[in-house]
């Protein structure tokens, strides 16, 4: 049974979120907000990507969320406030999922509050970005996946909803399409070796989520002529990840920073960045998005071959950006870095301390939790190979908190009891 009295405590988060959005939101669109609003506007006109210039940078899920607000010409603060509801519902899903793995409801409540008050969420919630929707979908998937694999579950509803949530997550951040494929292949190999009901249920869910994503994959194939291509900006990200220049650490830059002489308060010494890359950008500027993507990938591969040590250095820096939002090339860091650095150091340290007792008591960990951990490990590995930022780590936090909660409330107690005996 759900302890509604403790769940009501989570309601306190909603006014906090609303207040944060009202105080921190900026009426002027910035960065990716412009892209999401433009895509939502396109959808009101009957298309998502311009067929004459098929540049695919984002998935369609968040623009679809924005469509009703754009169609009704409502003030942009209205869909921004929707982010508060999405994050709150995500935290609520997470609390209910964690109750299944935690030794008691107190552990689940603490974990949910840690997620709900995670500082980077407050950085992105006041913006028209996908992070709030991703938190909702990730937590919704964790809850429904857990219930679907629960032996006491009698219906098919959690199976359907977990597939819908994961499929929608792919449509929000298309990297999860490739992540899901990798996990599906891995689970299939394990299932062929060890026929298990939980594994079979998991395979059904992952296949169903891919079916949900498949119409978008057909759409991108019709635009680009390339199968299994969910986006066209991966090559540019990898190009910057493999940069051979000593002054650069592998973080991605938007093309306008290179092709124009605009000044920016966030970055400094962009003249050096332009000196390093403008000639190549101008050379490929008139190519189609698909051709540009291929050109970026070709140079990236050559950079890795010719200077592997620099690529390793960039990769170490990229892991730092993913975990701690630091370091960045040509960037003057502010105190905002501590908003990622401090909570993530705390989370990662506790997570690392939990690994040893978890491995010692591996058989006590539910298979559903192990599958969830596999999913997020593959995602984190993919981010570390591509381009990482602190915002990408937000998706990882629910999985880490779930793992920490299970280990601290169950596994450590088991180990302590055995040592006493």
Domain-located, residue 336: yes
pTM over 0.75? The answer is yes
Instruction: Tell me if the bond preceding 284 is cis, omega within 30° of 0.
Output: no
Return the pLDDT at 84.
97
Beta bridge partners of residue 267, listed in sequence order: 331
* C-alpha–C-alpha distance, residues 295 and 381, integer Å: 24
Domain-located, residue 263: no
Domain-located, residue 311: no
- Structural domain range at position 342: 4-235+321-420
Which residue is listed with tokens 């002529």? Answer: 225
Domain-located, residue 72: yes
Backbone angles phi, psi at 331, to 5 degrees: -125, 135
Domain-located, residue 392: yes
* C-alpha–C-alpha distance, residues 118 and 106, integer Å: 18
- The answer to whether the CB of 309 falls within 8 A of the CB of 247 is no
Q: Which three-class secondary structure state does DSSP give residue 12? A: helix
pLDDT in tens, 179-218: 999 999 999 999 998 888 889 999 999 999 999 999 999 9
Q: Which residues of 191-208 are buried (b: 16+ CB within 10 A; e: fewer)?
A: eeeeeeebbebbbbbbeb
Return the pLDDT at 413.
61
Within 13 Å and on the Cβ side, how many CA atoms surround 174? 17
Domain count, the chain: 1
Q: Taking Cα atoms as reference points, which of 173, 179, 148 lies closest to residue 161?
A: 148
Domain-located, residue 289: no
pLDDT in tens, 50-90: 888 888 888 999 999 999 999 999 999 999 999 999 999 99
Domain-located, residue 312: no
Query: E strands, 16-110, where?
Result: none
Domain-located, residue 313: no
pLDDT in tens, 321-356: 999 999 999 887 777 778 899 999 999 999 999 999
Is residue 18 scored above 60 in pLDDT?
yes
Return the pLDDT at 419.
42
Q: What is the mean pLDDT of residues 154-167?
A: 92
């Amino acid at each position: 049974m759900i302890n509604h009295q403790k769940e009501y405590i989570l309601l306190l988060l909603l006014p906090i979120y609303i207040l944060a959005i009202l105080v921190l939101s900026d009426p002027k669109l910035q960065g990716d907000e412009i892209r999401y609003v433009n895509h939502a506007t396109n959808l009101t006109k009957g298309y998502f990507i311009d067929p004459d210039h098929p540049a695919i940078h984002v998935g369609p899920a968040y623009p679809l969320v924005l469509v009703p607000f754009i169609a009704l010409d409502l003030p942009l603060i209205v869909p921004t406030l929707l982010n508060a509801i999405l994050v709150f519902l995500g935290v609520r899903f997470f609390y209910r999922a964690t109750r299944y793995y935690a030794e008691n409801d107190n552990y689940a409540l603490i974990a949910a509050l840690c997620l709900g008050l995670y500082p980077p969420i407050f950085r992105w919630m006041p913006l028209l970005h996908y992070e709030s929707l991703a938190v909702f979908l990730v937590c919704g998937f964790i809850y429904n996946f857990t219930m679907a694999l629960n032996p006491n579950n009698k219906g098919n509803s959690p199976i359907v909803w977990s597939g819908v949530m994961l499929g929608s997550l792919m449509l929000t951040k298309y990297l999860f399409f490739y992540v899901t494929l990798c996990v599906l292949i891995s689970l299939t190999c394990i299932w062929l070796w060890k026929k298990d009901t939980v594994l079979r249920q998991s395979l059904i869910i992952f296949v169903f989520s891919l079916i949900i994503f498949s119409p978008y994959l057909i759409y991108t194939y019709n635009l680009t002529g390339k199968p299994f291509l969910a986006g066209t900006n991966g090559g540019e990200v990898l190009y910057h990840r493999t940069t051979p220049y000593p002054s650069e650490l592998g973080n991605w830059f938007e093309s306008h920073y290179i092709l124009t002489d605009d000044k920016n308060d966030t970055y400094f010494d962009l003249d050096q960045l332009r000196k390093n890359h403008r000639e190549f950008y101008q050379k490929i500027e008139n190519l189609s998005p698909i051709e540009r993507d291929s050109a970026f990938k070709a140079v990236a591969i050559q950079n890795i071959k010719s200077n592997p040590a620099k690529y390793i250095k960039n990769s170490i820096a990229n892991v730092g950006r993913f975990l701690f939002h630091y370091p960045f090339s040509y960037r003057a860091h502010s105190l905002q870095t501590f908003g990622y650095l401090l909570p993530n150091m705390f989370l990662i340290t506790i997570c690392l301390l939990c690994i040893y007792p978890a491995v010692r008591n591996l058989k006590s960990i539910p298979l559903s939790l192990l599958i969830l951990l596999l999913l997020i490990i593959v995602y984190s590995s993919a981010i570390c190979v591509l381009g990482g930022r602190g915002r990408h780590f937000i998706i990882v936090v629910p999985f880490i908190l779930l793992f920490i909660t299970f280990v601290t409330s169950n596994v450590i107690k088991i180990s302590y009891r055995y040592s006493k005996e």
